[in-house]
């Protein structure tokens, strides 16, 4: 099958679904809307599978499928083509986007059955997938930027989907504005790279950056270093890192399947993908990578502490997402580009599962999201409970589950990479321990323990359209990590299974140098992280199932600290108090003193002058013939006077 045809169908199938449902956006037939949208993504998934199969069959040295549709922009030596590529990196992304996206579409059919605008919802969902595919398939930064902005628009539309609720509308606007800050940095990064290399194509940028790095270290003012900083600012916006993470927790205001799509498998991973795509460029600026690692580590730790105190089931998962994204940035910051991509993939499986599982719970609980009003749902929702348990085991890093392999590989690189740091490893391990605590706490309060369900609420298992995606994602959360088994684990397993993912990505990615250590050190570090997770999880189980008075005692012992963390360190209040409100006050002052009292008055004076001149000349053109005769006589007298006076 022709490559251009496959690319065209892959990209245009979601557009067809968007147009079909968008043109009938008031239609309330959720089954038809969901079926068309799901089939559209299913077609894209099939095209993705075919392209990846063709990619696998190609020689390893030239493993990439390029398609050039047309010359998009040609201005004064600047060229940007409508060209796309499937290689080792984008192949993983398109399978995740279309595969997990398809499951989320199917889940949405049952979840949105009671909504009065399902067609509009599925139209937005399809448009989001199209823009995400643009982002990951483009072979240059400008195509990526178009998709980057497109997913930003769709996130605004989907997060604020129930815009009649002022709080939900504000959440969509918050996501849009915060991402615009990051996008400004992204655009500046593109400019700096073009200034340095006169190209925006990824393959050329990586090659030229490698050659430049060979000439010696680059200073902070070098265009490449500035470009890396600016692009990272863009990544902080899209992937919710400090200080631009504040939009993601509020984004839970949208329908729960939206959270699974945007905050697990697609948009929030865009920043990680961009840095991985430019891995050779970032390796040329090690000082920027250090910043990325520190920000990622702090974000992972910081968000995990907040997740330990939240009561909204979706907010807990939201801060968990911010924390897990921090691990991915910690990975790319220490040069662990392959483990970062690995964790991106496994996180898409178990976090999509947990968001959809929370949606199943909310659906069964009559839209209740407070975990203090749940408990013992295991009996009423056996499938949701069982699959959610698999996601819980994966995210806390229990050996054998997908999250264990990818998380511990990042921690190992953090310790052993020449770009890494022992202190960052400690931060990462502490973050893993807190993840185990708040996720076990969630399991205890939602599925285990005593029932605290209010009278009149009758929890029940969700329909098959919602449980089927949960089962598939549950299986992936278990087996998804086995394609990236680290060598130290593979060495003790029968048959020594290879690290398939590592071998697949190796030709396409840069890699940091590792400090030479023994297998004993690696096993010891792995044992420490697993032990911290086990102890933390056991403490959470004890506190919320066995001795339920422990949390209350802790709160009483540290009331100020608990209040600070419960209120998310008052970061939103700090932003409003120190940045947003002062800017509003300045804007009001400029409006009153500059716009109204200067600019407006100046325009009024100018307009009054013009109108006065107009009235003067208008009085001369009044249509009175006698007056015209008088003007002529006066003119004749004046002319004769000049003539007679010589």
Burial class (CB in 10 A: 0-12, 13-18, 19+), 194: middle
pLDDT of residue 2: 85
Dihedral pair phi/psi, residue 59, rounded to 5°: -60, 140
Distances (CA, A) of 202 to 133, 135, 196, 266, 589: 16, 13, 14, 20, 45
| Residues β-bridged to residue 78 | 75
Q: Which of 234, 265, 235, 268 is nearest to 251 (CA)?
A: 268
Q: How far apart are CA 35 and CA 106, in angstroms?
A: 8
623 has a pLDDT exceeding 80: no
The helix or strand, by DSSP H or E, that contains position 49, with its residue range, turns out to be helix 30-56
Q: Which tens digit of pLDDT belongs to each residue from 42-67?
A: 999 999 999 999 999 988 878 899 99
- 1 pLDDT tier (thresholds 50, 70, 90): low
Q: How far apart are CA 268 and CA 588, in angstroms?
A: 34
Q: Which tens digit of pLDDT belongs to each residue from 410-467?
A: 999 999 998 888 999 999 999 999 999 999 999 999 999 898 998 888 888 988 889 9
Dihedral pair phi/psi, residue 229, rounded to 5°: -65, -50
pLDDT of residue 646: 65
Burial class (CB in 10 A: 0-12, 13-18, 19+), 387: buried
Q: Please state which of the ranges 173-187, 591-605, 617-631 shows the lowest mean pLDDT.
A: 617-631
Asked whether 212 and 150 are in contact (CB, 8 A), the reply is no
589 has a pLDDT exceeding 80: yes
Q: Which tens digit of pLDDT belongs to each residue from 126-157?
A: 999 999 999 999 999 999 999 999 999 999 99
Rounded to two decimals, the pTM is 0.91
Rounded percentage of the chain residues whose pLDDT exceeds 90: 66
Q: How far apart are CA 50 and CA 68, in angstroms?
A: 19
Q: Which tens digit of pLDDT belongs to each residue from 518-549?
A: 788 889 999 999 999 999 999 999 999 999 89
């Amino acid at each position: 099958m022709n490559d251009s045809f496959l690319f065209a169908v892959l990209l245009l199938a979601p557009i067809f679904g968007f147009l079909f449902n968008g043109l009938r956006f008031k239609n309330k037939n959720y089954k038809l809307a969901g079926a068309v949208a799901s089939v559209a993504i299913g077609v894209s998934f099939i095209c993705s599978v075919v392209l990846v199969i063709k990619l696998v069959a190609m020689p390893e040295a030239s493993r990439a499928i390029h398609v050039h549709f047309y010359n998009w922009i040609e201005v004064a030596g600047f060229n940007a083509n409508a060209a796309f590529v499937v290689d080792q990196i984008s192949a993983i992304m398109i399978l995740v986007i279309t595969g997990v996206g398809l499951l989320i579409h199917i889940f949405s059919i049952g979840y949105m059955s009671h909504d009065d605008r399902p067609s509009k919802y599925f139209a937005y969902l399809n448009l989001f997938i199209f823009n995400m595919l643009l982002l990951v398939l483009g072979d240059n930064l400008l195509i990526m930027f178009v998709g980057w902005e497109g997913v930003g628009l769709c996130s605004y539309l989907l997060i604020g989907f129930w815009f009649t609720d002022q709080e939900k509308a504000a959440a969509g606007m918050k996501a849009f504005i915060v991402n615009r800050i990051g996008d400004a940095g992204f655009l500046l990064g593109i400019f700096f790279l073009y200034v340095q290399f006169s190209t925006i194509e990824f393959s050329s940028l990586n090659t030229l950056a490698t050659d430049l790095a060979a000439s010696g270290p680059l200073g902070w003012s070098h265009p490449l270093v500035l470009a890396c900083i600016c692009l990272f600012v863009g990544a902080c916006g899209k992937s919710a890192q400090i200080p631009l993470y504040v939009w993601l927790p509020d984004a839970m205001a949208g329908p729960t399947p939206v959270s699974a799509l945007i905050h697990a498998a697609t948009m929030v991973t865009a920043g990680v993908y961009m840095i991985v795509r430019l891995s050779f460029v970032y390796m040329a600026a090690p000082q920027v990578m250090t910043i990325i690692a520190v920000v990622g580590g702090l974000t992972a730790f910081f968000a995990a502490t907040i997740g330990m105190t939240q009561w909204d089931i979706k907010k807990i998962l939201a801060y968990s997402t911010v924390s897990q994204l921090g691990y991915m940035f910690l990975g790319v910051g220490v040069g662990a580009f392959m483990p970062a991509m690995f964790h991106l993939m496994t996180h898409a499986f178990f976090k999509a599962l947990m968001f959809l599982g929370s949606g199943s719970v909310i659906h069964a609980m009559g839209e209740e999201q407070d975990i203090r009003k749940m408990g013992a749902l295991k009996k009423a929702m056996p499938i949701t409970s069982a699959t959610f348990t698999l996601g819980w085991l994966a995210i806390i890093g229990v050996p054998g589950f997908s999250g264990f392999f990818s998380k511990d590989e990042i921690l190992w690189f953090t310790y052993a990479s020449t770009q890494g740091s022992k202190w960052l490893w400690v931060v990462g391990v502490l973050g893993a321990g807190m993840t185990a605590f708040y996720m076990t706490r969630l399991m205890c309060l939602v599925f285990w323990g005593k029932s605290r369900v209010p009278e009149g609420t009758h929890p029940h298992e969700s329909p098959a359209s919602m449980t089927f995606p949960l089962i598939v994602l549950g299986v992936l959360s278990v087996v998804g990590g086995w394609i990236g088994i680290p060598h130290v684990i593979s060495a003790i397993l029968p048959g020594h299974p290879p690290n398939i993912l590592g071998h697949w990505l190796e030709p396409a990615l840069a890699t940091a140098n590792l400090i030479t250590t023994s297998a004993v050190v690696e096993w010891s570090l792995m044992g420490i992280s697993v032990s911290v997770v086990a102890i933390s999880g056991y403490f959470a189980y004890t506190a919320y199932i066995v001795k339920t008075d422990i949390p209350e005692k802790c709160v009483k012992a540290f009331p100020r600290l608990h209040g600070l963390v419960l209120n998310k360190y008052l970061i939103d209040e700090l932003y409003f108090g120190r940045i947003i409100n002062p800017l509003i006050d300045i804007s009001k002052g400029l409006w009153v003193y500059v716009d109204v009292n200067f600019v407006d008055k100046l325009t009024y004076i100018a307009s009054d002058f013009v109108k006065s001149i107009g009235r003067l000349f208008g009085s001369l053109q009044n249509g009175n013939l006698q007056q015209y005769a008088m003007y002529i006589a006066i003119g004749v007298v004046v002319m004769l006077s000049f003539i007679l006076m010589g």
